[in-house]
Structure 1
Amino acid sequence: MTQRPIFLYALCGSQRQASTSRRLLQALQLACPDGVSIAICDLIGALPTFNPDDEGERTPPVVERFAAEIRKADGLIVSCPEYAHGIPGGFKNALDWLVSRDEVPFKPLMLAHASHRGDLVLAQLTEVLQTMSLHIVADAFLRLPIAGKSDEAQAAMLLEARENGLLSGGLSRFAQTIATSA
């Protein structure tokens, strides 16, 4: 019996193109086990400021595209830095657009963290994501502390994590949870 392909949609809490969170997501893309693919969202920075008056028939097209990508995904991956002891405003805005929609309840979610710090943002994300009824898969949690390292050190750590199976292992555990709950 062949398992169906699993599509994961990755949300980066930092909008910097060179962020360590994005770099970790890109490394996960390269480490996908067979039958798993990851697309990294590029819409978060384009979302307007959330306003409940703009929901329903007035929902902006970019928000509809964002929600459609999330709907298509079998699971989500979130990698988010901590800004001023919290969730970056742009990322929280993206989550706010999803709160009253039906794309996210009970959708499996994997947290991937690129720092040895950031426990405050992880706690806040967990609270917000659980409030939104997402299913955080604790066994798939991945922490690879590349933040604050040089580009060369980050690349070496990411390569080692890919070669030693750390990245694919987290993805495999996540994919297994998705496959068994489908």
Structure 2
Amino acid sequence: MKIIAISGSLRPNSSNTALLYVVAKLAPKNLDLTIYKGLTDLPHFTPELDGDTLPTSVRDWRGLLEKCDGVIISTPEYAYGMPGVLKNALDWIVSSGELVGKPVATISASPSELGGSKAHASLVLTLAALAANLVEGGSVTIPFIGKKLNANGELTDLNTVQSLKFLLDALVRGIIDNRK
């Protein structure tokens, strides 16, 4: 089972990226979870580039999504929405459809008490437009993330670890159901 994990943050010490590393550690050995690090390589979306001669980074991005069985997206919240770089990456797959019917789980973490709920809502709307299969139980918003990570970026809050485990289990179930 192959899962691609995407962080919507470009920050080297991003809490949302740190959460994906936690999920990767929780993954059983038979699950291949890869954290995608190519968001900065994707050009700004424009329909004029979305043709037969795609930029290599876009072709690679689409290929990764096409070959995976499921996707986890973890997004921070900027100005009540998901970061532009994540929206740009998702815009590149509108016409090609790599997420149509694909099981997807979502995470949003924020230092605020709302846990990035507005970014999460924005992400869910975009994923619905892409016809992604948002798996039941595969959605987590995490408030006060700064209090749940130590100085090394390690998650210390056991309830959040458990929530991420449930999210991963839900995604695996969604992938299995999608194969039937």
Does the pair score TM above 0.5? yes
Range 123-132 or range 30-39, more displaced: 30-39
> Tell me, which stretches of 5 or more residues in structure 1 are unaligned?
1-5
C-alpha distance in 2 between matches for 1:151 and 1:180: 33
* Distance change in 2, residues 1:138/1:56 (3 Å): same
**Structure 1 residue aligned with 2:122:** 124
**Structure 2 unmatched ranges of 5 or more:** none
Q: Write out per-residue CA displacement over residues 59-100 of structure 1, whole angstroms, 9 at most, x where no aligned residue.
A: 100100011111111011010011011121111111111110
Taking the aligned partners of 1:109 and 1:13, their CA distance within structure 2 comes to 15
Contact 1:80 1:113 (8 Å CA) reproduced: yes
Check the 8 A contact 1:9/1:38 in 2, yes or no.
Answer: yes
> Which one of the candidate residues 166, 171, 178 is aligned to 2:168?
171
C-alpha distance in 2, partners of 1:151/1:165? 14
Match of 2:95 in 1: 100
- What is the rounded CA distance, in whole Å, between the counterparts of 1:58 and 1:140 in structure 2? 35
Percent of residue pairs bearing the same amino acid type: 30
Q: Following TM superposition, by how much is the alpha carbon of 1:134 offset from its aligned partner in structure 2, in angstroms?
A: 0.6
How far, CA to CA, are the matches of 1:169 and 1:58 in structure 2? 41
Equivalent residues of 1:87, 1:124 under 8 A apart: yes
Query: In the alignment, is the contact (CA less than 8 A) between 1:110 and 1:136 conserved in 2?
Result: yes
Aligned residue number for residue 44 of structure 1: 39
Query: What amino acid does structure 2 have at the position aligned with 1:142?
Result: V
Q: Considering only aligned residues, what root-mean-square deviation do their CA atoms show, in Å?
A: 2.0
The one of 150, 153, 157 aligned to 1:152: 150
CA distance in 2, matches of 1:65, 1:131: 22
Which string of whole-angstrom CA distances, capped at 9 and with x for unpartnered residues, describes residues 4-34 of structure 1? Answer: xx11101111111210100000100000034
- Whole-angstrom distance in 1 between the partners of 2:166 and 2:80: 29
Q: Given that residues 146 and 157 in structure 1 are in contact (C-alpha distance below 8 angstroms), is that contact kept between their aligned partners in structure 2?
A: no
Aligned to 2:23: 28
Q: Which has the higher helix share?
A: 1
How high is the TM-score relative to the length of structure 1? 0.87
Give 1:68-83 correspondences, 5 Å limit. Answer: 68-83=63-78
- Equivalenced residue count is 175
Bigger proportion of residues as strand: 2
Residues 104, 132 of structure 2: 8 Å contact kept: yes
Partner of 1:136: 134
**Residues 82, 36 of structure 1: alpha-carbon distance in 2 compared, 3 angstrom cutoff:** same
How much does 1:117 deviate?
Answer: 2.5
Question: 2:107 touches 2:120 (CA, 8 Å); kept in 1?
Answer: no
- Structure 1 residues 147, 165: closer, same or farther in 2, change over 3 A? closer
Secondary structure class of the residue paired with 2:52: helix
